[in-house]
Amino acid sequence: MKGKTKHISEIRVRYGETDRMGFCYYGNYAQFLEVARVELLRSQGVSYKELEDAGILLPVRNFSIKYIAPAKYDDLLFIETEIVKINGSRIEFIYEIRNQKKLLIATANTELVFIHSDTMKPTHVPTEILEFHETEIK
């Protein structure tokens, strides 16, 4: 993946996350991506909890995933996450998920909207996120 603001998270597929075929159930990937984007922000000094405590929420507006190969029980997944766009009150992430053999498992993207918890209306992206993202772009 190209770009600057990226992070790699590791997640091991647990037995309870697999289906009868031994493959990671497709519905688990949304949670894996959530972990990955939270860790990307944390790696840049931004805490989801602190955002929420400040009244900023981040609901998902759009989620898309392309499954390429199955992840299986006990696979170690490496999720490379990148911020590709910040526009107004929106932030877009892209992801590549690979297993321990570097096999591409899936690609995905999510778009989230910053909203204020009091009004439940869109609000501007917090300054600290704009600052680290703009610093990475230069």
Q: What is the pLDDT of residues 24-49, one digit of tens each?
A: 999 999 999 999 999 999 999 999 99
Judged against a pLDDT cut of 60, whether residue 135 lies above it is answered with no
Judged against a pLDDT cut of 80, whether residue 4 lies above it is answered with no
Binning pLDDT at 50, 70 and 90, where does residue 132 land? confident
Average pLDDT of the residues of the chain: 92
pTM of this prediction exceeds 0.95: no
Is the distance from CB of 93 to CB of 82 less than 8 angstroms? yes
Sequence-distant (6+) residues with CB within 8 A of 122 are 88, 89, 113, 114, 115
Separation between Cα atoms, residue 56 and residue 58, nearest integer Å: 7
Catalytic residues: 19
Domains of the chain and CATH, by start: 6-137 (3.10.129.10)
Judged against a pLDDT cut of 60, whether residue 138 lies above it is answered with no
pLDDT at 123: 96
Tell me phi and psi for residue 21, to 5 degrees: -85, -5
28: left (phi over 0), alpha (psi -120 to 50) or beta: alpha
Q: CA dist 18 to 4, 22, 75, 115, 124, Å?
A: 33, 5, 11, 34, 39
Residue for token digits 């932030």?
Answer: 91
CA-based nearest residue to 69, from 114, 103, 115, 34: 103
69 or 4, which is more confident:
69
Helices (H), 44-126: 48-53
